[in-house]
Chain A
Amino acid sequence: MQLPDYREQTPEVKARFDRIKQRPVIMKVRDLKKAFGPAESEHVVFDKVNFDVYRREFITVIGPSGCGKSTFIRIAAGLDESSGGQILLEDKPVGGPGPDRGMVFQGYTLFPWRTVKKNVMFGLEMQGKSKHSAEQEARQWLEMVGLSKFENSYPHELSGGMKQRVAIARALANDPRILIMDEPFGALDAQTRCKMQSYLLQIWKKVDVTILFITHDLDEAIYLSDRILVLGVNPGGVREIIENPVPRPRTVEQFLSPEFIATKRRLDELIHGPAVEQDGEDDKLPMIRMTQAGDEVE
């Protein structure tokens, strides 16, 4: 099949990206560096990471294991410190963790001693809101993620997908400037993950929030995002920022569209390297015959 260039955009998609770039910049990443060990023999995870995140943009960070995507997210959340450079949130450098950056983790991290509603209320209580108004708001958010019926359940009574919806509601209830999601659907089975992806797109449509998403799943990245930032290893840093040519609204059928496949091929190339180099030393299995003659798999 002749694939289009992944950089080719239909006029609608191009217009959309133009509109996005007109919007104010929510988050600026400037010369961000993370390294471990002493200065003379340091191990650089990534260096010179520079990009902007526009308001209401859905941006995904993707990369092979060891590229430091989780480290990057933790720095953005204020849970780790960078070795150089900075992240600016609305022109203010981020320090420690704070409610202006909502976090959704892979491991749900719901408070097991709180009911679903009380979990969503947590951030609101921390803001000093009265119990009554916190409860009202929590109910609204639970309605939006479709879990009103479960407001008095405890997290352990919910399925993985439901837990993650509560976690999203909890993060959004704080009205964060940016929602940072660290492989949020990685622990879910394929079917639930697919459902959650379309839920997330629906939520994003309804809420004024910018999403910074981390994943290692190529399909997920293309299905969800506006732009895809590819991190690499050796040397660590930004490989490319791809403007996703797949038009919105996104549907599952688009998984087979030429733009989708072209983008996926490019991502695959960036992450796993060109097909020739793929048969590295590590990938070769020793050739020992364990079957009997005539038993070969065709």
Chain B
Amino acid sequence: MSTNTDWLGLKKELPQQRRLQLTILSFVLPLVLWCVVSYVPWIWHPLIHVTDPGDVEFFSAGMDMPKADFYEQNQKAVAEGMAPGKGYPVNPVYLPAPGAVVKAFYTAFITPPLLPGDPWLHESLLHSIRTICWGFFLSSIVGVPLGVICGTYRFFSRMTEPFIEFFRYLPAPAFGALCVAILGIDDGPKIAIIVIGTFFQQVLVIANTVRKVDPSLIEAAQTLGAKGWRLVWRVVIPASISDIYTDMRILLGWAWTYLIVAEVVGTMSGITYFIYQQGRHFMFENVYAAIMMIGIIGFSSDLVLAALGAVLFPWKSKLRAGKKASFWARFNFKPAAAAVPEPN
């Protein structure tokens, strides 16, 4: 047993309470850094927000200017006997304070769109989620079966995978112009970009997972009389389904990373359009809020899927039968990549 004071045990798991503390700390640390930079006036704050221009003709109330220029002009003004300008140090507009961003999480939803006819924030978000879901769904209905077939039969693997391996190096956004020419400027090309970005990885990743099915399980099934298609349906697929599910969670995360590039193809749409509009009007607190919302939606949906996975695949859970944990108790902060199957 390690002592309680040992925080830095080499490759040693920490007790539950400390894990939780550190999880919270991992979010709190960057937040504290951000607060310090935003709220402590003598740290960074490279600009001066002018409140009273005084007699300096360059100055006007409400402008931001570099500190050095501000002091130089004021010195000149004082030397010439004129009233100096007044102001306070601020950060550039692209780094809003945490408070402003937190407020924006609420205000962005109740602020009407900047242009009449533009979508509200929640509409933009829904549009983006819809685009992701369609793209991921269309990719999966072909990609998952193809991956399973490639993982099971070397014939299909050799026939398709070399090309897919080549194709996955082609960056999905490069197909933007092509997609617009074929599918128009609305949602079609955006969904297509997500499909292109997801599909090829999906086939390879799932084929690999299926190939990793323990061959002794297949042999055991054969000695029990399983043959042909039933061997695939009753053994190969159930043996790999929970790992495929984990793959799908990771792939869905990748699909989110394609969202922003997909949404600039054709007419800009969804959350990307919202971010772009807010940025153009220097409302960077809304930009930050929108970016974080993407993160929160992605992260929380993955947590829900992880918990759902524990319910769907009970043989993967370490809990003994009889004291089955509730759906909510299964939430844990393990990233999907770490959810490796138990060595049986």
B-binding residues in A (CB < 8 A)? 77-79, 96-99, 101-103, 105, 107-109, 111-114, 122-123, 125-127, 152-157, 170-171, 174
Contact = CB atoms under 8 A, between A and B. Distances in A.
B319 to A, nearest CB: 9
B320 A157 contact: yes
A109 B222 contact: no
Nearest to B225: A99
Interface string B240-270: 0110000000000000000000000000000
B123 interface: no
B321 A101 contact: no
Contacts of B223: 77-79, 97-99, 101-103, 171
A242 B271 CA distance: 80
A63 to B, nearest CB: 22
B228 to A, nearest CB: 11
SS of B interface (majority): helix
Contacts of B216: 105, 107, 109
B296 interface: no
Interface residues of B, number: 26
Interface string B212-231: 00101101111111100010
A154 B321 contact: yes
B241 A174 contact: no
A109 B215 CA distance: 10
Interface in B158-186: none
Given A97-B219, A157-B321, A126 B315 contact: no
Of A96, A108, A155, A157, most buried by chain B (CB within 10 Å of CB) is A157
Interface centre among A103, A105, A112 (most CB of B within 10 A): A112
Contact of B225 (A98, A111, A155, A157): A98
Given A111-B221, A154-B321, 6 more contacts: A79-B222, A111-B235, A112-B315, A114-B238, A126-B226, A157-B320
A189 to B, nearest CB: 18
B324 to A, nearest CB: 11
Given A98-B225, A126-B226, A157-B320, A113 B315 contact: yes
Contacts of B241: 113
A156 B314 CA distance: 11
